Protein backbone atom coordinates (compact mmCIF):
# COMPACT_ATOMS: atom_id res chain seq x y z
CA UNK A 1 0.00 0.00 0.00
CA UNK A 2 2.76 2.40 0.97
CA UNK A 3 4.69 1.44 -2.15
CA UNK A 4 1.67 2.16 -4.35
CA UNK A 5 1.14 5.53 -2.64
CA UNK A 6 4.81 6.40 -3.13
CA UNK A 7 4.60 5.45 -6.82
CA UNK A 8 1.54 7.64 -7.29
CA UNK A 9 3.28 10.52 -5.51
CA UNK A 10 6.34 10.23 -7.74
CA UNK A 11 4.14 10.05 -10.83
CA UNK A 12 2.26 13.17 -9.76
CA UNK A 13 5.54 14.96 -9.10
CA UNK A 14 6.86 13.97 -12.52
CA UNK A 15 3.69 15.25 -14.20
CA UNK A 16 3.96 18.51 -12.26
CA UNK A 17 7.60 19.01 -13.18
CA UNK A 18 6.92 18.18 -16.81
CA UNK A 19 4.05 20.63 -16.87
CA UNK A 20 6.33 23.33 -15.55
CA UNK A 21 9.04 22.65 -18.13
CA UNK A 22 9.85 25.57 -20.37
CA UNK A 23 8.47 25.62 -23.87
CA UNK A 24 10.00 27.59 -26.71
CA UNK A 25 8.05 30.09 -28.79
CA UNK A 26 9.64 30.32 -32.24
CA UNK A 27 10.20 33.92 -33.37
CA UNK A 28 12.42 33.57 -36.42
CA UNK A 29 13.82 30.71 -38.52
CA UNK A 30 16.79 30.78 -40.89
CA UNK A 31 17.13 27.67 -43.04
CA UNK A 32 15.03 24.55 -42.51
CA UNK A 33 14.39 22.85 -39.18
CA UNK A 34 11.81 20.05 -39.02
CA UNK A 35 9.97 19.28 -35.80
CA UNK A 36 9.76 15.48 -36.04
CA UNK A 37 6.89 15.49 -33.52
CA UNK A 38 4.70 17.19 -36.14
CA UNK A 39 6.63 16.42 -39.30
CA UNK A 40 6.47 20.10 -40.25
CA UNK A 41 9.14 22.80 -40.65
CA UNK A 42 9.45 25.23 -37.77
CA UNK A 43 7.80 28.58 -38.45
CA UNK A 44 7.37 31.83 -36.49
CA UNK A 45 4.60 31.41 -33.94
CA UNK A 46 5.22 27.68 -33.38
CA UNK A 47 5.60 26.38 -29.83
CA UNK A 48 7.94 23.45 -29.23
CA UNK A 49 8.61 21.34 -26.15
CA UNK A 50 12.07 20.59 -24.74
CA UNK A 51 11.57 16.93 -25.65
CA UNK A 52 10.72 17.58 -29.31
CA UNK A 53 13.25 16.10 -31.70
CA UNK A 54 14.45 18.56 -34.33
CA UNK A 55 15.95 17.73 -37.71
CA UNK A 56 18.28 20.40 -39.09
CA UNK A 57 18.53 20.88 -42.85
CA UNK A 58 22.13 22.09 -42.53
CA UNK A 59 24.72 23.06 -39.95
CA UNK A 60 23.71 26.68 -40.56
CA UNK A 61 19.98 26.29 -39.93
CA UNK A 62 18.94 28.12 -36.77
CA UNK A 63 15.96 29.62 -35.01
CA UNK A 64 15.38 32.35 -32.45
CA UNK A 65 13.00 31.47 -29.64
CA UNK A 66 11.55 32.99 -26.49
CA UNK A 67 10.82 30.61 -23.65
CA UNK A 68 7.77 30.52 -21.41
CA UNK A 69 9.85 32.40 -18.81
CA UNK A 70 10.68 34.96 -21.55
CA UNK A 71 14.32 34.06 -21.87
CA UNK A 72 15.82 34.40 -25.36
CA UNK A 73 17.41 31.39 -27.05
CA UNK A 74 19.12 30.38 -30.26
CA UNK A 75 18.20 26.93 -31.52
CA UNK A 76 20.87 25.31 -33.67
CA UNK A 77 22.55 21.95 -34.05
CA UNK A 78 24.96 21.58 -31.10
CA UNK A 79 28.58 21.18 -32.14
CA UNK A 80 28.83 17.80 -30.45
CA UNK A 81 25.89 16.61 -32.53
CA UNK A 82 27.24 17.64 -35.92
CA UNK A 83 29.12 14.37 -36.43
CA UNK A 84 26.17 12.21 -35.38
CA UNK A 85 24.06 11.28 -38.40
CA UNK A 86 20.97 9.14 -38.80
CA UNK A 87 20.70 8.37 -42.52
CA UNK A 88 22.39 11.73 -43.21
CA UNK A 89 19.90 13.52 -40.97
CA UNK A 90 21.14 15.88 -38.28
CA UNK A 91 19.04 15.51 -35.16
CA UNK A 92 18.93 17.08 -31.71
CA UNK A 93 16.42 17.41 -28.90
CA UNK A 94 15.09 20.94 -28.50
CA UNK A 95 16.49 21.26 -24.99
CA UNK A 96 20.01 20.40 -26.17
CA UNK A 97 19.75 22.61 -29.26
CA UNK A 98 18.57 25.67 -27.29
CA UNK A 99 21.28 27.99 -25.98
CA UNK A 100 20.50 31.13 -23.94
CA UNK A 101 21.35 34.45 -25.57
CA UNK A 102 23.69 36.68 -23.60
CA UNK A 103 22.12 40.05 -22.87
CA UNK A 104 23.54 42.98 -24.82
CA UNK A 105 20.80 45.43 -23.91
CA UNK A 106 23.30 48.12 -22.90
CA UNK A 107 24.49 48.57 -26.48
CA UNK A 108 22.51 51.77 -26.97
CA UNK A 109 25.06 54.56 -26.55
CA UNK A 110 22.80 57.61 -26.64
CA UNK A 111 19.30 58.56 -25.63
CA UNK A 112 16.38 58.61 -28.03
CA UNK A 113 15.31 61.99 -29.36
CA UNK A 114 17.45 63.29 -32.22
CA UNK A 115 20.54 63.99 -30.14
CA UNK A 116 23.70 64.68 -32.11
CA UNK A 117 26.54 62.16 -32.23
CA UNK A 118 29.74 63.40 -30.62
CA UNK A 119 31.72 60.17 -30.98
CA UNK A 120 31.19 58.16 -34.18
CA UNK A 121 33.42 55.35 -32.98
CA UNK A 122 31.30 54.89 -29.89
CA UNK A 123 28.10 55.23 -31.92
CA UNK A 124 29.02 52.73 -34.65
CA UNK A 125 31.20 50.51 -32.48
CA UNK A 126 34.07 48.36 -33.70
CA UNK A 127 32.17 45.16 -34.46
CA UNK A 128 28.81 45.25 -36.27
CA UNK A 129 26.29 48.05 -36.71
CA UNK A 130 22.75 47.30 -37.93
CA UNK A 131 20.83 49.71 -40.16
CA UNK A 132 17.06 49.26 -40.23
CA UNK A 133 16.23 49.56 -43.92
CA UNK A 134 18.38 50.88 -46.74
CA UNK A 135 19.14 54.33 -45.37
CA UNK A 136 20.07 56.00 -42.09
CA UNK A 137 20.38 59.70 -41.25
CA UNK A 138 22.79 60.62 -38.46
CA UNK A 139 23.19 64.10 -36.98
CA UNK A 140 26.83 64.81 -36.10
CA UNK A 141 28.09 67.34 -33.59
CA UNK A 142 29.43 70.43 -35.35
CA UNK A 143 32.03 70.78 -32.61
CA UNK A 144 33.52 67.33 -33.19
CA UNK A 145 32.63 66.70 -36.85
CA UNK A 146 32.20 69.99 -38.74
CA UNK A 147 30.90 69.22 -42.23
CA UNK A 148 31.43 71.37 -45.32
CA UNK A 149 32.78 71.07 -48.86
CA UNK A 150 36.27 70.42 -47.51
CA UNK A 151 35.45 68.32 -44.45
CA UNK A 152 33.33 65.21 -44.74
CA UNK A 153 33.00 61.52 -43.88
CA UNK A 154 34.28 58.78 -46.18
CA UNK A 155 33.55 55.04 -46.07
CA UNK A 156 36.00 52.55 -47.57
CA UNK A 157 35.79 48.77 -47.94
CA UNK A 158 37.22 45.96 -50.03
CA UNK A 159 34.65 44.97 -52.65
CA UNK A 160 34.68 41.73 -54.57
CA UNK A 161 36.80 43.18 -57.37
CA UNK A 162 38.18 46.48 -56.06
CA UNK A 163 38.60 48.76 -53.08
CA UNK A 164 35.60 51.07 -52.84
CA UNK A 165 35.66 54.54 -51.26
CA UNK A 166 32.50 56.61 -50.97
CA UNK A 167 31.96 60.13 -49.66
CA UNK A 168 28.81 60.23 -47.53
CA UNK A 169 26.23 62.75 -48.62
CA UNK A 170 25.18 65.29 -46.01
CA UNK A 171 22.82 68.19 -45.41
CA UNK A 172 24.03 70.59 -42.77
CA UNK A 173 25.31 68.32 -40.01
CA UNK A 174 23.25 65.28 -41.04
CA UNK A 175 25.06 62.51 -42.90
CA UNK A 176 23.26 59.88 -44.99
CA UNK A 177 24.38 56.25 -44.90
CA UNK A 178 22.54 55.10 -48.02
CA UNK A 179 22.93 51.51 -49.20
CA UNK A 180 22.20 52.47 -52.80
CA UNK A 181 24.92 55.12 -52.73
CA UNK A 182 27.72 53.31 -50.94
CA UNK A 183 27.37 49.74 -52.28
CA UNK A 184 29.29 49.58 -55.54
CA UNK A 185 27.97 46.14 -56.56
CA UNK A 186 25.44 43.68 -55.05
CA UNK A 187 28.30 41.16 -55.05
CA UNK A 188 30.07 43.28 -52.44
CA UNK A 189 27.36 42.38 -49.91
CA UNK A 190 27.87 39.24 -47.81
CA UNK A 191 24.57 37.32 -47.63
CA UNK A 192 22.97 40.21 -49.48
CA UNK A 193 22.98 42.38 -46.36
CA UNK A 194 26.49 42.99 -45.02
CA UNK A 195 29.43 45.17 -45.98
CA UNK A 196 32.39 43.73 -44.12
CA UNK A 197 35.21 45.71 -42.54
CA UNK A 198 34.04 49.17 -43.54
CA UNK A 199 36.60 51.80 -42.58
CA UNK A 200 35.09 55.14 -41.55
CA UNK A 201 37.29 58.21 -42.06
CA UNK A 202 37.21 61.94 -41.49
CA UNK A 203 38.60 63.56 -44.62
CA UNK A 204 40.18 67.00 -44.95
CA UNK A 205 40.09 67.95 -48.62
CA UNK A 206 42.41 70.94 -48.16
CA UNK A 207 45.17 68.93 -46.52
CA UNK A 208 44.29 65.81 -48.54
CA UNK A 209 44.47 63.94 -45.25
CA UNK A 210 42.24 61.33 -43.66
CA UNK A 211 41.86 60.10 -40.10
CA UNK A 212 40.43 56.68 -39.30
CA UNK A 213 37.47 56.82 -36.93
CA UNK A 214 36.55 53.14 -36.75
CA UNK A 215 36.19 49.93 -38.74
CA UNK A 216 32.88 48.13 -38.56
CA UNK A 217 30.63 45.67 -40.39
CA UNK A 218 27.53 47.43 -41.73
CA UNK A 219 24.39 45.28 -41.94
CA UNK A 220 21.32 46.54 -43.80
CA UNK A 221 18.36 44.76 -42.21
CA UNK A 222 14.90 44.40 -43.70
CA UNK A 223 12.91 46.56 -41.26
CA UNK A 224 9.64 44.84 -42.22
CA UNK A 225 11.12 41.47 -41.28
CA UNK A 226 12.23 42.78 -37.87
CA UNK A 227 8.74 44.24 -37.36
CA UNK A 228 7.28 40.78 -38.09
CA UNK A 229 9.50 39.34 -35.35
CA UNK A 230 8.15 41.96 -32.97
CA UNK A 231 4.59 41.05 -33.98
CA UNK A 232 5.22 37.40 -33.07
CA UNK A 233 6.50 38.49 -29.66
CA UNK A 234 3.72 40.97 -28.83
CA UNK A 235 1.03 38.34 -28.00
CA UNK A 236 3.43 36.85 -25.43
CA UNK A 237 3.83 40.26 -23.81
CA UNK A 238 0.07 40.75 -23.75
CA UNK A 239 -0.25 37.33 -22.14
CA UNK A 240 2.12 38.57 -19.43
CA UNK A 241 -0.04 41.70 -19.04
CA UNK A 242 2.92 43.97 -19.69
CA UNK A 243 2.23 47.67 -20.04
CA UNK A 244 2.99 49.36 -23.35
CA UNK A 245 6.14 50.85 -21.85
CA UNK A 246 7.29 47.45 -20.59
CA UNK A 247 6.52 45.88 -23.97
CA UNK A 248 8.55 48.57 -25.76
CA UNK A 249 11.50 47.95 -23.43
CA UNK A 250 11.30 44.20 -24.06
CA UNK A 251 11.25 44.63 -27.85
CA UNK A 252 14.18 47.04 -27.80
CA UNK A 253 16.17 44.69 -25.57
CA UNK A 254 15.24 41.78 -27.86
CA UNK A 255 16.77 43.63 -30.80
CA UNK A 256 19.98 44.47 -28.95
CA UNK A 257 20.29 40.90 -27.64
CA UNK A 258 19.58 39.11 -30.93
CA UNK A 259 21.17 41.57 -33.36
CA UNK A 260 23.34 44.26 -31.79
CA UNK A 261 24.08 47.97 -32.08
CA UNK A 262 21.76 50.19 -34.09
CA UNK A 263 20.47 53.75 -34.17
CA UNK A 264 18.22 54.16 -31.09
CA UNK A 265 15.88 56.60 -32.86
CA UNK A 266 15.30 54.22 -35.78
CA UNK A 267 14.67 51.35 -33.37
CA UNK A 268 12.34 53.50 -31.25
CA UNK A 269 10.23 54.32 -34.33
CA UNK A 270 10.06 50.68 -35.45
CA UNK A 271 9.05 49.49 -31.98
CA UNK A 272 6.34 52.14 -31.77
CA UNK A 273 5.04 51.12 -35.20
CA UNK A 274 4.79 47.50 -34.08
CA UNK A 275 3.00 48.55 -30.87
CA UNK A 276 0.59 51.06 -32.45
CA UNK A 277 -2.46 48.95 -31.49
CA UNK A 278 -1.08 47.65 -28.19
CA UNK A 279 -2.99 49.97 -25.88
CA UNK A 280 -1.69 51.44 -22.65
Tens-digit pLDDT profile for residues 198-242: 999 999 999 999 999 999 999 999 999 999 999 999 999 999 999
Please identify, among 66, 82, 100, the residue that sits at the C-terminal boundary of a domain: 100
Q: What is the pLDDT of residues 112-165, one digit of tens each?
A: 566 899 999 999 999 999 999 999 999 999 999 999 999 999 999 999 889 999
The per-residue pLDDT for 105 is: 61
Residues 121 and 79 both lie in one domain: no
Domains held by the chain: number = 2
Which residue range forms the structural domain that includes residue 57? 2-100
Please identify, among 54, 85, 100, the residue that sits at the C-terminal boundary of a domain: 100
Query: Residues with Cβ < 8 Å from 74, sequence gap 6 or more?
Result: 62, 63, 64, 65, 98, 99, 101
Measure the CA–CA gap between 248 and 75, rounded to whole angstroms. 24
Please identify, among 100, 126, 144, the residue that sits at the C-terminal boundary of a domain: 100
Q: Which helix H or strand E contains 50, and what residues bound it?
A: none
Residues 39 and 116 both lie in one domain: no
Residues 136 and 94 both lie in one domain: no
The per-residue pLDDT for 108 is: 52
The per-residue pLDDT for 179 is: 97
Statement: the pTM of the whole predicted model exceeds 0.75: yes
Percent of the chain with pLDDT over 90: 81
Q: What is the pLDDT of residues 37-59, one digit of tens each?
A: 999 999 999 999 999 999 999 99
Q: How far apart are the first and last CA of the chain?
A: 56
Residues 58 and 143 both lie in one domain: no
Amino acid sequence: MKRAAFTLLMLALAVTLFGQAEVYNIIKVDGEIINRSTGKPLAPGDVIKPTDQLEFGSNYAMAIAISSTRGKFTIRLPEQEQDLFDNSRMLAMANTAAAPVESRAQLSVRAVGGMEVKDLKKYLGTDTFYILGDKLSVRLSKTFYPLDENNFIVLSYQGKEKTVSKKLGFTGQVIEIDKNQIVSSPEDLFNGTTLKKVSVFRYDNVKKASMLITQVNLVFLNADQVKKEFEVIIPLLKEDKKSRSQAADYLRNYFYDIYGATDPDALFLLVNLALKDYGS
